Structure 1
Amino acid sequence: MKLQLMGKDPESGDHGSPTVWVDGDTHELVIQGWSADEATLDACRRDGPIPGHESVIRIPPRMVPLVREALGVAELD
């Protein structure tokens, strides 16, 4: 697996989260973010179950440009 780092949240300081990568082999986005709290999980579960092998994360709006950039990179490969 080769991950291309797209960027880290500049407001995270030394914590390194959120972060966005593109997997060069599968063209999938890999996103590190804050774990969702129970209220968020409950709201998500109203639309359907969250399987045990999946997670819900939160990223701030300031990370949207990095996600857009990563989507463009994933489409180019």
Structure 2
Amino acid sequence: MALRFIGIDDTSGGNNCPMVWKDDTDGSLVLQGWEVTNLSELAQLQERSSLPDTEKVIRLPARMIPYILEACSE
């Protein structure tokens, strides 16, 4: 896996989160964000699909969309 840094939230204040990375091997995105722990939000997500123990739901602010679009357009 060869991860390439795309961008970090410039309002993170040195907390290094959230971030967007791209795996140049297979084109997948690697996202670092805040883990969603709100039970109501998780219940809404699980109405659509189960959440295995091997997965986490993360939240990225809308200001990270340009980084995601940049990673997807390459």
- TM over 0.5, shorter chain: yes
1:8-65 Cα distance to aligned partner (Å, 9 max, x none): 0011111111100000111100000000022221110111211111111000000000
For 1:32, give the aligned amino acid.
Q
Structure 1: tracts of 5 or more residues without a match: none
Name the stretch that deviates more: 24-33 or 39-48. Answer: 39-48
Q: Tell me which stretches of 4 or more aligned residues in structure 1 moved more than 6 Å.
A: none
Q: What is the Cα-based RMSD across aligned positions, in Å?
A: 0.9
Aligned pairs for 1:26-65 within 5 A: 26-37=26-37, 38-65=39-66
Of Structure 1 and Structure 2, the greater helix share is in 1
Identity %: 37
For 2:61, give the aligned amino acid.
P
In the alignment, the residues of structure 1 paired with residue 58 and residue 40 of structure 2 have an alpha-carbon distance, to the nearest angstrom, of 13
Equivalenced residue count is 73
Structure 2: tracts of 5 or more residues without a match: none
In the alignment, the residues of structure 2 paired with residue 40 and residue 11 of structure 1 have an alpha-carbon distance, to the nearest angstrom, of 25
